[in-house]
Structure 1
Amino acid sequence: MHKPPRQTARDFDPDVLELFDRYVHGGIDRRGFLSGAGRIVGAAGAVGVLAALSPQFARAQQVAPDDQRLLATYREFDAPLGSGRGRGYLVRPSDTTAALPLVLVVHENRGLNPHIEDVARRIALEGYIAFAPDALFPKGGYPGDEDAARALFATLDQDDARQDFLAAARWLHGLEGGNGRTGVVGFCYGGGMANWLATQLPDLRAAVPFYGPAPPLENVPGIKAELLVVLASNDARVNALWPAYEAALQAAGTTYALFQPADTEHGFNNDTTPRYDEAAAADAWSRMLALFARTLKSPA
């Protein structure tokens, strides 16, 4: 059966996209989005818009969970300074016994959903051991529904969550079969976590925060990793933090690059929603892989 063409951000009113961004990040609830969008596109149209903007995991999946090129499992780890115990999705290539570089993958503000698991598999196919922790594990794990996940996420103790991700990164760094060279990539909430982890882990080689909030600026001198900062062009909420963050990076002498493709929305790398920009996402992904290859695969 012929599939209808994928919608893009250009198919939606910018004010609707701004409302959706607020909804996704907890600024308004589902009713608030439908009410606000209804004033723009009508009540019936608002329901359709929400459905269109919501993730379509199966359609976007690139690597099947049972792909024979990979070994995938869920692994638990100790997080004594956080929730006590964490769990994540561990994926590695199945065709090698060589020590491989390591990449921590940090999800958005809905926990370890199918999209982030697919992202971990995509990275593993490039010759890495990828580990994607689930911040919602102490709450029972990703509940299988984005609205429920978002509500559950709001109940997290964020101090514990940060310590859980820190424990996950340290666990991954010492994983058997790894080469001890670790990078991190994160998206939205995960981008902010990637920024923060870079300030806490002097052994981290590379960090790629996608449209994530800046870390506390006083901690920026602790960053030893090389950064690839990926921002959308139409993302006032996150972009407002960038000038001060960039000034702090420059003052600290941190090696970094900024990639901010034109005409992109927050979430442009996420191919499960219309905010996805195929060309910009491909370019960002290519730059990320180049950074990881140079810093994680090379022994230097």
Structure 2
Amino acid sequence: MKRLLLFLAALAVASTASAQDWAKARLDKSPRHLEWVTLKVGDRDVKCFVGYPEVKTKATAIVLIHEIFGLSDWMRGMVDQFAEAGYIAIAPDFLSGAGPNGGGTDSFGANDNVRGKIQGLADSQVMGDVKAAAEYVAKLPAANGKVVVGGFCWGGAKTFNYAVTGADFKAGLVFYGSAPKPEQMAAIKAPIYGFYGGNDARITAAVPEVTTQMKAAGKTFDQVTYEGAGHGFMRAGEDPAATEPNKQARLEGWKRIKAILSKI
């Protein structure tokens, strides 16, 4: 029985790793400068993955907040893809120091372990990590001082949460993330741009009400729902096995991202 359990555990880890082999393969071929940095946030060391664009001028920066699956290969790949688009990108590992032997996302193995730990993170800790990452990239010599924050799934909700802290950043990109309470929205300073899947009722069904609430609070909330796309389409649409609606939503989502960022 013990051997069987060890085999199943190893199989789960292998399955988790292989699920994003395509993302890692793309990342490994990147010609851009990618690096790890460690930020001191209180008494914690927060590991962050940073990507630099190949441009002549100082660039706008974006803080990316990962999915509930942690700082995965796909999430690091998104850092590279934002760098490819001309932006400095940074993605903190919000599980830094929370894993076995003080490790981060990589130390947990199976996705269920990662998901469970992330759900238990204090919102105040996550907001502190986002703030530290934003302050770090804003002051880089290659940066122009403008900072955008964007997140996916769990990270989409945390992007909205960061906005209600009253933080001063240029725009929030919320990818299929839930919204804060309406009474919190008055504190939002940045325009919020939402990206939602038409086949994701758990999140998307609330969008009309959120739109009304943001309007009542006098805040900018510009959202698009991509018909036929499911939850997580920015990742699922890149998978070689992607459905056509997810693939199309991702392509249209990227066009919209670039259009938004070009005006900042």
TM-score class normalised by the smaller sequence: 0.7 to 0.9
Give 1:249-268 correspondences, 5 Å limit: 249-268=214-233
Hey, what's the Cα distance between the residues in 2 that align with 1:132 and 1:157? 18
Q: After TM superposition, which residue ranges in structure 1, 4 or more long, deviate above 6 angstroms?
A: none
Hey, what's the Cα distance between the residues in 1 that align with 2:85 and 2:25? 13
- Alignment partner of 2:39 out of 56, 60, 77: 77
Partner SS state of residue 269, structure 1: helix
Aligned-partner residue type, residue 50 of structure 2:
L
Aligned-partner residue type, residue 128 of structure 1:
Y
Hey, what's the Cα distance between the residues in 1 that align with 2:178 and 2:150? 13
Corresponding residue number in structure 1 for 2:193: 228
Q: Cα distance, 1:153 vs. partner?
A: 2.4
Does the alignment pair 1:107 with 2:66? Answer: yes
- Alignment partner of 1:59 out of 22, 47, 51: 22
Corresponding residue number in structure 1 for 2:177: 212
Distance of aligned partners of 1:67 and 1:113 in 2 relative to their CA distance in 1, 3 Å threshold: same
Corresponding residue number in structure 2 for 1:168: 133
Q: Choose 248-257 or 71-80, whichever is displaced more.
A: 248-257
Q: Cα distance, 1:236 vs. partner?
A: 2.3
Hey, what's the Cα distance between the residues in 1 that align with 2:166 and 2:24? 32
* CA RMSD, Structure 1 to Structure 2 (Å): 2.4
TM-score computed with the length of structure 2 as normaliser: 0.82
Partner SS state of residue 218, structure 1: helix
- Alignment partner of 1:87 out of 38, 47, 54: 47
Q: How many residue pairs align between the two structures? A: 240
Unaligned runs of 5+ residues in structure 1 are 1-50, 296-300
Distance of aligned partners of 1:135 and 1:259 in 2 relative to their CA distance in 1, 3 Å threshold: same
Corresponding residue number in structure 1 for 2:152: 187
Partner SS state of residue 258, structure 1: strand
Q: Choose 160-169 or 189-198, whichever is displaced more.
A: 160-169
Q: Is the 8 A contact 1:107 1:132 kept in 2?
A: yes
Aligned-partner residue type, residue 41 of structure 2:
A
Q: Choose 210-219 or 120-129, whichever is displaced more.
A: 210-219
Does the alignment pair 1:279 with 2:252? Answer: no
Deviation per CA, 1:86-114, whole angstroms, max 9, x where unpaired?
Answer: 22101102x44531110111110121010
Over the matched positions of the two proteins, sequence identity in percent amounts to 26
TM-score computed with the length of structure 1 as normaliser: 0.72
- Alignment partner of 1:136 out of 95, 98, 109: 95
Corresponding residue number in structure 2 for 1:288: 257
Q: Is the 8 A contact 1:62 1:118 kept in 2?
A: no
Q: Choose 56-65 or 139-148, whichever is displaced more.
A: 56-65
Q: Cα distance, 1:67 vs. partner?
A: 2.2
Hey, what's the Cα distance between the residues in 2 that align with 1:164 and 1:209? 18
Q: Is the 8 A contact 1:88 1:131 kept in 2?
A: yes
Partner SS state of residue 209, structure 1: strand
Unaligned runs of 5+ residues in structure 2 are 1-14
- Alignment partner of 1:200 out of 161, 165, 180: 165
Partner SS state of residue 135, structure 1: coil
Partner SS state of residue 28, structure 2: coil
Hey, what's the Cα distance between the residues in 2 that align with 1:221 and 1:263? 33
Q: Cα distance, 1:155 vs. partner?
A: 4.2
Partner SS state of residue 244, structure 1: helix
Hey, what's the Cα distance between the residues in 1 that align with 2:122 and 2:187? 24
Q: Cα distance, 1:214 vs. partner?
A: 0.3
Deviation per CA, 1:250-285, whole angstroms, max 9, x where unpaired?
Answer: 112222321101111111111247467111110011
Partner SS state of residue 203, structure 2: helix
Corresponding residue number in structure 1 for 2:10: none
Relative contact order (C-alpha < 8 Å, sep 6+): which is higher? 1
